[in-house]
A = this chain, B = another copy of it.
Amino acid sequence: MVTLIANIVGYTAAVVGTSLMLPQIIKSLKTKKVKDISFIMLVFYFLNCILWLIYGILISALPVIVANSIALLISIFQIILKIIYS
């Protein structure tokens, strides 16, 4: 029972973690303003996704690979927006 709840919480966390940069992208696209966003934070988020992706590949964990591949693409898109709108 605890394992089932843990899995549900874990997968929900993975979905939230994967999509957390999406609202930022929507806001940046709407306002075209990115000055207050830390570039280092975005690079850390990018590194975070890359590292979890490598980890997922090393332990052959498909959910980790899928979630972090998507998050990686999202983070690259936000970095591009930061550069374009700066």
Contacts and interface: CB of A to CB of B under 8 A. Distances in A.
Q: Mostly helix, strand, loop or mixed at chain A's interface?
A: helix
A3 to B, nearest CB: 8
Contact of A19 (B37, B44, B52): B44
A55 to B, nearest CB: 5
A15 to B, nearest CB: 9
Given A6-B55, A20-B48, A22-B41, 20 more contacts: A3-B59, A9-B51, A9-B58, A10-B52, A10-B55, A13-B51, A16-B44, A16-B47, A16-B48, A17-B48, A17-B52, A19-B44, A23-B38, A24-B38, A24-B41, A27-B36, A27-B41, A28-B36, A31-B36, A33-B36
